[in-house]
Each structure stands twice: as structure tokens, then as C-alpha cells.
Structure 1
Amino acid sequence: MGVPILLKQVLVTGATGMVGRSLVNALLKKGYCVRALVRKKVDEDILPARVEQVTGDITDAASVCSAMAGVCFVFHLAARLHVNNPSPDQKEQYQGVNVTGTLNVIEAASSARVDRIIFFSTISVYGAGKNNQAVDEGSETMPDTLYARTKLKAEQLIDQFCADRSGAPEVTILRLASVYGAGVKGNYRLMINAVQKGGFIFLGNGNNCRTLVHEEDVAAAAILAAEHPMARGKIYNVTDGTTHTVKAIVGAIARALERQPLELHVHETIIRAILNLLELSLFQGLPGVEKIGYMINKMNEHVAVRGEKIQQDLGFVPQWGLDRGMKQALKEGRSKP
């Protein structure tokens, strides 16, 4: 017989983020002993008292090693996350956390003879889609942001490490769709705020696609990837099983908030004219110009990704559709202090 789950020690990096907290709660519910590598200890409203908190930094190899003792699974979420139009001086931070930090994790896990690492990557490694065509795990990667490039570099580092080292831990890579939940941030938080205020401006007709996944579905997929023998060495996209237009997402947010926002549409020709204008040398160097152009491009791009592989291989069944997920996320988000 194998070791009972309640005796298995797992390590979670990035445990204090939205996805990390959902994963920690799911692991505790299943009976795992959970250890979290944190930069500073947090209160019980962030991580339950049953979680063993080990202070350290993902970029410091020694602190990663100290957290790894006796661990069977590592869930590596810690990352320098996506920000809109990062400045050039942030490149070193992305490299340090996303690439060097991942190397520290896999080297420490190898030395500690960890069974499996679940590495959380992103569908952003595929880049923006073309004509709403959905891509899968075999599609070409064309990352177009600093965040996506460093996450793909970390994936490649993992592949090379496992190829070069005998006895290296098994690794499963999860490429997450845009994750939403009670602590959602970024562009989706901007969308929610706009609907709450009574209006939303669509850049184009709103039919460009997005691929999403609820935080609790991510946690379920990650545990499956750790426990299932077929997940060894695989890459999986993790989605809610479908793609959604921006118009549908705004509609789900409005229904969750019980609002009927005013919808304004900016024609694509006007969008292109604005972008062309912003590219003129007359405007270069003005505060906010690059950020505006970047935001327009991101809001108007297609991101459509297929998630059938993890469903077929591991039996993963997403539980959170868009309407149910938004209602739960926004309800819990409003109840938080």
C-alpha cells in the first residue's frame, strides 16, 4: 500500500495568491500536510493555521532547499506575474523569479528526491491568437510579453534539466487560462469595475475570444496532475472547457452584479487610427502613451485555447461555468475586507 494522503507532505510556492490559497484549501481538504514557502509569515485569514509556513525567497537556493525536506509533491506557483506594459528595468525581476526561481525549485526537488513537481505556466506562451482559432498543447509558442517569455524559458529549463539529470523528479506543466475568482486582478478587475460603474466600452464588436478558468478548477486540475500516473512529463492547458467572447464575459459579470450596463462600441477602424496616431513620433515619450496603445491591443486580441487533453488523459471535469463562476467570485469578492 502507498503512503496515506494525510501523511504526505507537499510544498506550495506562491501560496498566498488567489490560486495558491484555493490550492492550499483543496489540499488540506484531501488530507495532505501542506507546507508553504513564504517571504514573510501571514495571518490565518490568508493561510489556515494547519499550514506550515517556511520563510524564504524563491530566488534564494538555500531557502528553497530548506523548505523541500520530506516533500512528495511540489506545486510551484510563485512567479513574477503579468503586468501591462512592464518597464525594461523589470526584466531582471522577471528573470530572477520566473526562471532562476524555477531552477532553484527543480534542483532542490531533485536533491530531496521529490516525486513530482507541478509547474504552473500560462497560455500566454502561445501569444495572441489569429481569427479566433483555438490552439492546443502542440501549437507553436510565440510569447509576446516579458511575463510569457520568461514562463516559456522556465518550461524549457525544466525540459532540459529532466533530460540531463538521471533521477530528476517527474514534472507536469499546467498552462493556465486567465484565472478568475474572488481576488481577481488585472484586466478582468478593470472590466468588473467598469460594469459596476454602469458602462463598458467595447474595443470593436466584442466578439474577440478569451479562455478562462475558475480558481477552484485550477486547484482540482493541479491535484489530479500530481496524483495521476499519466500526467508524468506532460503539458496541459487548463481551461473551463470552452472559449468566451468578451461580450459574453461582460454579460456574465453584469448578471452576477445584477446590473445592466451601458454598452459602447468603438469601431475597429477607429481603434487602428488611434494606434497609428500613438505611434507618431510627436507622441512618443508622453506619459501613458505606450500604456494606452498596449491596453488597446490587449483588449482587442483573440485568446482561444483548447483544454480537452487534460480532460481526456486525467478525467478532469471543470465544475465552474462562466455564469456560476462569476456569481461565486463576485459574491465572495464583495464579502472580503
Structure 2
Amino acid sequence: MRVAINRIMVTGANGFVGQLFCAEALARGLEVFGVTRLSGASLPNVKNVVVSDINGTTDWSFALVGCDVVMHLAARVHVMRETSDDPLAEFRHVNVAGTEHLARSAAAAGVRRFVYVSSIKVNGEETSKGTAYTEQDNAAPQDPYGVSKWEAEQALHCVAKETGLEVVIVRPPLVYGAGVKGNFAQMISVVAKGVPLPFASVNNKRSLIYVKNLADALMLCATHPAAAGNTYLVSDGEDVSTTDLLRKLAVVMGKKSRLFSCPVVLLKLAAKIFRKSDQVGRLLGSLQVDSSKVRRELGWVPPFSVDDGLKATVKDKI
């Protein structure tokens, strides 16, 4: 049985996940306060709230009045061209201090639950094939973003202990869907153009989550009584290899899958030479997530399959 809520505040409301989540919340009859950093980023039927910056001093009082739940999606994410001399300090400024301050402000305003969208990067960057990350694994973040997300989680546990605020932490892997950017968008573009790719022999496994599946899981985390105080890893539950993913994308776009084999060792060497080791490493390595806890404890079943998600993702590319 779910807890009834009336008003929810969503940070990062105009982002990739935020827009979809706001639409899901509205469809379920909730009043949505959408927090953005852009005054012109209003969303249909969402009460837009503008903040200039998220940090340890942001004034949240005007946005939290009457809210039952805070869905915290906003964050400083991976920066392609980092210019800061101290990236970790910049990540901590927003992701740690900003998150803790928001949680304390929420508790003071009488908010019941705080759902924090963290990242699978808290667990690490890669798993051995056939081995999946779980909530019980020790944290092993490898970059400033992952470190800041882990530290934010710890700060939230402290706030929960001190104030009674119900905290729920969700760690998704790669999120995809219509409007996705970054490496996934580049992959779609390359497949659409019919560019031959040397990944036919790649036999890895990676967990993904379709953005609508994530929104559904987040809504459950906002309303299910058993979610309070828990951390959940979420995924579509259909792990795929890079080879399978490329082939699936080709099928849904009506394109030919132009894959050929190349020894993985040569792919890694080429990536090192062209300084693309991180990017190519994600295509060659495995990263699997065990989402059985959220399914078992909250009864969550992803409403969409990977094929459903991929069809929606490339709909405007066909």
C-alpha cells in the first residue's frame, strides 16, 4: 500500500530525467513544484521555481512549503572539458553541501520524505562479467563525481538520523530514452549513418535503465512505506552486450548492423593512442546491476522492456 502524497518538489525539473518524472507525477494527480536554474524553463502544468545556484546556502523556504516529498535530481555531473583546478571541490560544493542543506531545509519545513538520485558510480566503474553490483557492496567511487555522490549519501544518512526525515537513495546505471545525450546519443548517430563498427566480438554485459522505468521506480520510492531508509539499485533487468545493443539499435531504426570483429586488445591499444580509453572502456567492459532488492521489497516491475525503451529513444531518428 502506498502513502498518499499531494505535493512534490522536483529539483532539476527541466533535465532529461526531471521532465519525464514531472510528467509522471502530474499524470498521477500530484501538484508539482519544479526547481530549475533557468527562469524561462517552465514546464506545462508545473509550478516553476527558480534558484540561482544549489549550494550550502540556497534559500529553499519558498519552494518547500506544503511539500510532502522532495525528489532531488539536480547535480553537478560529469564535465567533458573540466576547467577547475580542483574538480572534487566543485562537485562537493553542489552535490554534497547543496544536497545536505536541501535535506535539512526539507526536514525543517516538515517534508516527510527525501528521494535522492545518486549513481551506480558510487559502487564503481566496472564489474566482472556475470557479477553484479548490489546494495551490500562496499562503495568504491573512482572519480570526483562518484566520490561526491557517495559523500552526499553519507550526509543524508546523518540528516535522517538527526531529524527523522525519510531518506531513500536510488543508484541508476546509464539512463537512456528520447532526448538522451552523450555517448548513447553518439552511438545512435553512428548506427543511423551506417558506419562500420569493430565490436562484433565484444562479449561484455551492461545494465541500463530506460528513463520511463526510472521515473516509475522513483515514484514508487516516493510513496512506498517500505522504501524509507533504504538504498536501491535499479535497472531494466535485461543486461546487454555492446554488440547486442548496437544490433538492437540497428533493428529498431531499420538499418543494417555493420559490425565486424577486431581483437579487444587492439581496440584498447587504439583507444590509448587516441586518448579515448575511458570512452572505449565503457564499450568493452561490463557493468551489471542487481536490482532484485527493489523488486522484492517494493514489488517493482519495470513497465517497459529494453526493446520498448530503444524504440522510443530512436523514434525521432527514424
Map 1:35-50 to 2 at 5 A: 35-43=33-41, 47-48=43-44, 50=45
Does 2:109 correspond to 1:112?
Answer: yes
- Give the secondary structure class of the aligned counterpart of 2:69: strand
Q: Which of the numbers 22, 26, 33 marks the counterpart of 1:24? A: 22
Q: Which of the numbers 209, 230, 233 marks the counterpart of 2:226? A: 230
Shift of 1:86: 4.5
- Give the secondary structure class of the aligned counterpart of 2:261: strand
* Matched residue, 1:196: 192
* Matched residue, 2:296: 312
Map 1:41-80 to 2 at 5 A: 41-43=39-41, 47-48=43-44, 50-56=45-51, 57-59=53-55, 61-80=57-76
Q: Which amino acid is 1:21 matched to?
A: Q
Residues 17-56 of structure 1: per-residue CA shift (max 9 Å, x gap): 1110111001111111100111122355xx11x2111111
Kept in 2: contact 1:174–1:237 (CA 8 A): yes
Q: Which of the numbers 221, 226, 230 marks the counterpart of 2:217? A: 221
**Aligned-partner Cα distance in 2 for 1:158–1:4:** 23
**Aligned-partner Cα distance in 2 for 1:153–1:9:** 28
- Give the secondary structure class of the aligned counterpart of 1:210: coil
Map 1:1-337 to 2 at 5 A: 5=5, 8-43=6-41, 47-48=43-44, 50-56=45-51, 57-59=53-55, 61-83=57-79, 86=82, 89=85, 90-127=87-124, 128-163=126-161, 165=162, 167-202=163-198, 205-274=201-270, 278=273, 290=275, 292-331=276-315, 333-334=316-317
Q: Which amino acid is 1:96 matched to?
A: H
Q: Which amino acid is 2:62 matched to?
A: S
**Aligned-partner Cα distance in 2 for 1:75–1:297:** 32
**Aligned-partner Cα distance in 2 for 1:203–1:88:** 35
Shift of 1:272: 4.1
**Aligned-partner Cα distance in 1 for 2:188–2:79:** 18
Kept in 1: contact 2:134–2:290 (CA 8 A): yes
- Give the secondary structure class of the aligned counterpart of 2:132: coil
- Give the secondary structure class of the aligned counterpart of 1:264: coil
Q: Which amino acid is 1:51 matched to?
A: V
- Give the secondary structure class of the aligned counterpart of 2:265: helix
Q: Which amino acid is 1:104 matched to?
A: H
Kept in 2: contact 1:231–1:314 (CA 8 A): yes
- Give the secondary structure class of the aligned counterpart of 2:34: strand
Kept in 1: contact 2:199–2:243 (CA 8 A): no
CA RMSD of aligned residues (A): 2.2
- Give the secondary structure class of the aligned counterpart of 2:129: coil
- Give the secondary structure class of the aligned counterpart of 2:116: strand
- Give the secondary structure class of the aligned counterpart of 2:260: strand
Shift of 1:201: 2.5
Q: Is there any run of 5+ residues in structure 1 with no aligned partner, and where?
A: 279-288
**Aligned-partner Cα distance in 2 for 1:211–1:87:** 31
Q: Flag the 1:154–1:51 CA change in 2: closer, same or farther, 3 A.
A: same
- Give the secondary structure class of the aligned counterpart of 1:118: strand
- Give the secondary structure class of the aligned counterpart of 1:201: coil
Shift of 1:75: 0.1
Kept in 1: contact 2:175–2:209 (CA 8 A): yes
Shift of 1:334: 4.1
Q: Flag the 1:136–1:3 CA change in 2: closer, same or farther, 3 A.
A: closer
**Aligned-partner Cα distance in 2 for 1:126–1:202:** 29
Q: Flag the 1:210–1:234 CA change in 2: closer, same or farther, 3 A.
A: same
Kept in 2: contact 1:132–1:208 (CA 8 A): no
Q: Which amino acid is 1:109 matched to?
A: A
Kept in 1: contact 2:199–2:242 (CA 8 A): no
The percentage of aligned residue pairs carrying the same residue is: 31
Residues 38-92 of structure 1: per-residue CA shift (max 9 Å, x gap): 1122355xx11x2111111222634323321211100000011234584653433
Kept in 1: contact 2:84–2:90 (CA 8 A): no
What is the aligned residue count?
314
**Aligned-partner Cα distance in 1 for 2:286–2:81:** 18
Q: Flag the 1:168–1:85 CA change in 2: closer, same or farther, 3 A.
A: farther
Q: Flag the 1:3–1:143 CA change in 2: closer, same or farther, 3 A.
A: closer
- Give the secondary structure class of the aligned counterpart of 1:266: coil
Kept in 1: contact 2:88–2:148 (CA 8 A): no
